[in-house]
Chain A
Amino acid sequence: MSDFFSNLDRRWIFLVMGLSIAIPMLMGVVFPEEPSQEVLDVFNAVEDLEDGSNILMAYDYDPASKGELEPMAAAFVRHCAEKKHKLYFITLWPAAIPMLQKNIGILNREYPEYTYGEHYVNLGFRPGNEGVIKVVVTDLKKLYSNDVAGTDLNELPMTVNVKNIQGMDLIVNVSAGTPGTKEWVQYAATPFDIKMVAGVTGVGYTPLVPYVPDQLAGVLGAIKAAAEYEEAVLQNYPELRTNPATQEGLRRMGPQLVAHMLIITLIIIGNIIFFMDRKRGVA
């Protein structure tokens, strides 16, 4: 038995992992989620704002991290739309422009009362990484004289009087790396005292924890936090439950649970073999 596992072809492990993700995904297995205090801090930062507040939606992620970050990005959009906030979409990543378009598509489909230029605007991408933040925080129109469609920002009702992003009531940043949350905290939120929340990948979460709660009101880490955030939104806005798209993060937790259990099982089997081999004097 020990020899069988010791010489196991890694492709069998790949197959089992593939099945452990595919089967719960195809079966639509959903487990209950309980919003943690960390997630509720982020939720309350959006919820406690007055209806119609100005929010900068800085979405800095690309297709590689779409699976992990898209559910929380969508949940932020829906939550803000329920609160009728005014949304300013912006990105520092060239590959994120379609991600902005996809999230704006949620407003077009599910919130027809949201009008472009009055309730939301797509500022798109500008090159320069944190350099962009340093400029827009003092003078937005120096870099963004027009929106993504080429419309002059002075012609749009919601941007005509915006001098810089210091007037934002909240920055919501969904980030997969650099430039991302750290740069928004360092160059915008902290020096100009703008409230900020973020949603990041699992590996990006722990380096941001020291910024909470003074420089960041809260951080969502990976798909687990996205699912909890969705649950918090659904508990407060139960009418959204009829829309299956509002539970994308919750659905992705099914495959995650099975995959985690498989990894734990593999570690245990690997260690049993290790101790058996050591006992036999092989290891």
Chain B
Amino acid sequence: MKRTVPLVIAAVTGVILIASYFIPYAQSWGEEAMIWFDILAAIAFVLGGGNLLKMHLQKISNRRAGWGFSVVTISAFLITLSIGLSKMGVNPAENFPEWSWSGDYLQEGGGFKWMYDYIYLPLASTMFSLLAFFIASAAFRAFRAKNAEAMILLGTAFIVLFGRTYAGIYVSQPIIDVLASITGSEVESLMSLRLDRLTSTITNVFTLAGNRAITIGIALGIVSLSLKVLMGVDRSYLGSEE
């Protein structure tokens, strides 16, 4: 029963959504199913919070390796949740001045907005910007022209690295001008060799072809997996039997 009911719900909803796409009469059924999906997605936030607490409290309780990080995670979660739910420092909304909780939780000057601006935003930006340092280190230590494939990759990387900045134009434009004067051809006819244009060619021809193949492959995979889920053949989304 515990597994049959979710299987039936998934199969029925899937069939409704497919029918709503092809049969105009069933379109409203699909809309109704999507409303239910959105309501469930909102509830999933609560489940996610509960699961986070459960996992980390277990880790702390068992004193597993890295349990100190779990203390930090739970503390950050509870502090953020309490400041957000209590709408600390938030003034009532203009439309509903008599309701003290009516203000937007992300209102300027509120506690949650302060945390977003001065804790979350700099931390998230810092994590992302660290990439630049690791890429530089990796470029120095790992990017070696060991064989023909690696050399092609290196050549492409150089073109793209130049082409994605003004250096691409600065370096290659004089070369094109010289080439044009030597060959006696129009500068415009050689512009496709300029590094920024070559970068576009790599993206719009070679990368595009590869991406199309990958996209078609993924789409076929999704179709086959969806059919397996609808027919109850693939039950991995329900989790383990335990």
Contact = CB atoms under 8 A, between A and B. Distances in A.
Sorting the interface of chain B by its residue count into under 10, 10 to 19, 20 to 34 or 35 or more gives 35 or more
Contacts of A36: 196, 200
Interface in A58-72: 62-67
Nearest to B208: A209
A37 B204 CA distance: 12
Interface string B103-144: 010101000010011001100110111001101110111111
Given A66-B121, A135-B35, A38 B200 contact: yes
B158 A264 contact: yes
A36 B164 CA distance: 11
Contact of A127 (B38, B117, B120, B139): B38
A205 B164 CA distance: 13
Nearest to B96: A150
A192 to B, nearest CB: 12
Interface stretch (A9-17, A44-52, A240-248): A9-17
Contacts of B120: 63, 95
Given A209-B211, A274-B144, A131 B133 contact: no
B215 A260 contact: no
B166 A33 contact: yes
A134 to B, nearest CB: 5
A188 interface: no
B31 A142 contact: yes
A148 B167 CA distance: 44
Q: Is the interface of A mostly helix, strand, loop or mixed?
A: helix
Nearest to B42: A127
B95 A149 contact: yes
B27 interface: yes
A209 B203 contact: yes
Contact of A264 (B121, B141, B161, B166): B161
A21 B37 CA distance: 45
Interface in B191-205: 196, 200, 203-204
A149 B93 contact: yes
Contacts of B145: 271, 274
A17 B136 CA distance: 7
Contact of A263 (B116, B146, B161, B207): B161
Sorting the interface of chain A by its residue count into under 10, 10 to 19, 20 to 34 or 35 or more gives 35 or more
A254 to B, nearest CB: 9
A132 B38 CA distance: 7
A131 B37 contact: yes
A260 B106 contact: no
Contacts of A63: 120-121, 124-125
B42 A128 contact: yes
Contacts of A259: 132, 136
A227 to B, nearest CB: 9
B237 interface: no
A32 interface: yes
Interface string B77-101: 0000000000000000111100000
Nearest to A208: B211
A264 to B, nearest CB: 6
Interface string A110-149: 0000000000000000111101101100110011000011
Contacts of A260: 161-162, 164-165, 167
A132 B136 CA distance: 40
B137 A13 contact: yes
Interface of A: 8, 10, 13-14, 16-18, 21, 31-34, 36-38, 62-67, 95, 97-98, 101, 126-129, 131-132, 134-135, 138-139, 142-143, 148-151, 205-207, 209-210, 222, 224, 253, 256-257, 259-264, 266-267, 269-271, 274
Given A18-B133, A127-B42, A267-B143, 15 more contacts: A8-B140, A13-B137, A33-B166, A34-B169, A34-B196, A63-B120, A64-B125, A66-B124, A127-B45, A128-B37, A128-B38, A209-B211, A222-B164, A260-B161, A263-B135
Smallest CB-CB A-B distances: 5 pairs: A128-B38, A31-B166, A257-B165, A63-B124, A266-B140
29 contacts: A13-B137, A31-B165, A66-B125, A67-B125, A67-B128, A95-B120, A97-B106, A101-B108, A127-B41, A129-B41, A134-B31, A138-B31, A150-B96, A205-B203, A206-B211, A207-B215, A209-B207, A209-B208, A257-B165, A257-B166, A257-B167, A260-B162, A262-B136, A263-B136, A266-B136, A267-B157, A270-B139, A270-B140, A270-B144
